[in-house]
Amino acid sequence: MQNPTIVYVPRDSAARSVGADEVAAALQQASEQGEFAIEVVRNGSRGALWLEPLVEVVTEQGRIGYGPVTADDVPGLLAAGLLTGGDHPLRLGRVDQLPWLARQNRVTFARVGVIDPLSPEDYVAHGGLRGLRAALALDPADVVAQVTESGLRGRGGAGFPAGIKWKTVLECQGEGADLKFICCNADEGDSGTFADRMVMEGDPFLLIEGMAIAAHAVGASEGYIYLRSEYPDAIATMNAAIEIAHGQGWLGKGVLGSTLDFDLRVRVGAGAYICGEETSMLDSLEGKRGMVRAKPPIPAIEGLFGKPTVVNNVLTLTTVPVVLADGPKAYQDLGVGRSRGTQVFQLGGNIKRGGIVETAFGITLRELIEDYGGGTLSGRPVRTAQVGGPLGAYLPVEQFDLPMDYEAFAEAGAMLGHGGVVVFDDSVDMAAQARFAMEFCAEESCGKCTPCRVGAVRGVEVIDRIVAGTHRDENLALLEDLCDLMTDGSLCAMGGLTPMPVRSALAHFPDDFLGGRKLLDITPVHRTEGTA
């Protein structure tokens, strides 16, 4: 009997939303009818979301891609020789040689889109567990030292050095430190961000491996992945991966035959944006309403249930195995200044080629938007991009040559955050965007502190008065005072960062606040698009 040809169709929820399941079903049906021998494998997405569903066929020439493919395209593709990489208008060539992908530094995302996410054999064959095995051969303090030396910083937004946090938890000793936790904050709530979801759906064992390394490094025995309810596919994939990992001996008693005992569970949050803040997440994990805790004490000393706790983001923990596998220097060699390694940038909004771009820190915002992103989807000129989520600054085109690193952005009054980049064309009303920032804060505030809870409501009212032309100068001064109060007086970054988008919109687009911006003709400009 003829060996079946392996055809990859993504199971990532972004691909599924545009018909990947139907494409997979059409290929499976063609195989079952006997004319074609096909083995359909559901992989993660490569991150080229404008090409989804991206179908890849294993041939003698390598993995040949076709996309975007619909179920109706399948018969024609098969007739054109899909299974041997035949020519077709949707043919893209070898996927790993597409310039958009080949120019990236895929480190954290090296396996995403390449393997079957729930195949332990695939995971190990593509380098999985190397980091964990290396870590288990070291003393915990040496593991922490390697993470520190790599320069890895938290990818959740604050950019705090991961090694310092781990060292604090490791050094907690005594009666209060009899139990330690590893908590992964997968409450990815920033607009325009989706990297956490994609790596969990595309390479879930990587997160498990990273959390197991963290557990060995600090002496933890229990771990929790706090995942938002809006990610049902990621929840299902992580739960399945944890069950498989237990069966493989990668979790539980004596991980990989070592002395490490580590159990891991998924906990689903109700979708409160504030639970992206670490102490609110911990309250939610404890069964309470998610509200910000005053610091000190910090979670590394008194975290979940009052015990020493490592709280890291998904991208931080999924980068740890690479650091241990290849050594800290290999990671340290990437990046610029104090921003070492790679960042997974997420391109969204009004952009032609949205998706995941993983590259070393130091790439410019212009390269991301114009080169990788291809400009706006509407075809209109780019006017601004918001970097760092809904509380990040709006940067004008004149600042697009800013290098993507933590310090450069901070000096420009902006932040990298989780790496989300949301693009707007010249039809955007920046007064409305500034108002949205205050409105968003009012909606999502946990309500614990007055500057955030009340300040955001007053902010909406003041911006409305400015746009209406009511005592504009006095209200502009009042808005500035209000922004100072929220920045300096809020208990956490929810209220403290809300002024950032407001101030950036005022600074770079003041005319939009002069009585409302006259909307431009926004008739879409259609442009032809070549292959990637």
- CA gap 247, 257 in Å, rounded: 13
- CA gap 492, 448 in Å, rounded: 10
Mutual angle of helices 140-150 and 162-170, in 10-degree steps: 160
DSSP β-bridge partners for residue 364: 403
Q: If pLDDT is split at 50, 70 and 90, which confidence band does 35 have? A: confident
DSSP β-bridge partners for residue 265: 224
Q: What is the pLDDT of residue 523?
A: 43
- CA gap 425, 278 in Å, rounded: 34
pTM summary value: 0.93
Q: What is the pLDDT of residue 159?
A: 83
Tokens of 292: 């910000």
Mean pLDDT value across residues 88-98? 97
Q: What is the pLDDT of residue 526?
A: 42
CB 384 within 8 A of CB 399: no
Q: What is the pLDDT of residue 494?
A: 86
pLDDT higher than 60, residue 521: no
Q: If pLDDT is split at 50, 70 and 90, which confidence band does 380 have? A: very high
Please report, as a single letter, which amino acid is at residue 196: D
* Beta strands in 314-413, from DSSP E residues, in sequence order: 335-336, 339-340, 342-349, 355-360, 382-387, 394-396
- Total residue length of the chain: 532
- pLDDT digits 0-9 by tens, 179-229: 999 999 999 988 889 999 999 999 999 999 999 999 999 999 999 999 999
Q: What is the pLDDT of residue 282?
A: 96
Burial grade of 280 (CB within 10 A; 0-12, 13-18, 19 or more):
buried
Q: If pLDDT is split at 50, 70 and 90, which confidence band does 517 have? A: low
- CA gap 374, 525 in Å, rounded: 14
- CA gap 120, 116 in Å, rounded: 9
Please report, as a single letter, which amino acid is at residue 70: T
Q: Of the ranges 15-19, 328-332, 450-454, 519-523, which one carries the lowest mean pLDDT score? A: 519-523
CATH 3.40.30.10 matches 5-101: yes
Q: Which CATH architecture has domain 120-332?
A: 3-Layer(aba) Sandwich (3.40)
Whole-number average pLDDT of the chain: 93
Burial grade of 475 (CB within 10 A; 0-12, 13-18, 19 or more):
buried
Q: If pLDDT is split at 50, 70 and 90, which confidence band does 73 have? A: very high
- Three-state helix/strand/coil letters over 17-56: HCCHHHHHHHHHHHHHCCCCCEEEECCCCCCEHHHCCCEE
The percent of residues in the chain predicted with pLDDT above 90, rounded, is: 85
Dihedral sign computed on CA atoms, order 80, 84, 90, 91: negative
DSSP one-letter code for 493: H
- The CB density around residue 37, as the number of other CB atoms within 10 Å, is 13
Task: Give the N- to C-terminal CA distance of the chain in Å, as an integer.
Answer: 37
Q: What is the pLDDT of residue 516?
A: 55
The domains of the chain are located at: 5-101, 120-332, 339-425, 430-513
- Opening angle at CA 251, ends 249 and 255, nearest 5: 65
Burial grade of 187 (CB within 10 A; 0-12, 13-18, 19 or more):
buried
Mean pLDDT value across residues 13-20? 97
Q: If pLDDT is split at 50, 70 and 90, which confidence band does 66 have? A: very high
Higher pLDDT, 155 or 319: 319
Q: What is the CATH number of domain 430-513?
A: 1.20.1440.230
- Residues 6 or more apart whose Cβ sits within 8 Å of residue 170: 140, 141, 144, 217, 218, 219
Q: What is the pLDDT of residue 532?
A: 33
Identify which of 11-25, 290-304, 405-419, 454-468 has the greatest average pLDDT: 11-25
Q: If pLDDT is split at 50, 70 and 90, which confidence band does 174 have? A: confident
- Three-state helix/strand/coil letters over 225-291: EEEECCCHHHHHHHHHHHHHHHHHCCCECCHHHCCCCEEEEEEEECCCHHHHCHHHHHHHHCCCCCC
The candidate with the shortest Cα–Cα distance to 399, out of 429, 365, 372, 362, is 365
CB 98 within 8 A of CB 62: no
Mean pLDDT value across residues 302-321? 96
Tokens of 165: 């946090």
Please report, as a single letter, which amino acid is at residue 376: T
Q: Of the ranges 262-276, 343-357, 464-478, 514-528, which one carries the lowest mean pLDDT score? A: 514-528
- CA gap 171, 298 in Å, rounded: 14
Q: What is the CATH number of domain 339-425?
A: 3.10.20.600
Tokens of 149: 């030396």
- pLDDT digits 0-9 by tens, 235-259: 999 999 999 999 999 999 999 999 9
Tokens of 144: 């922490």
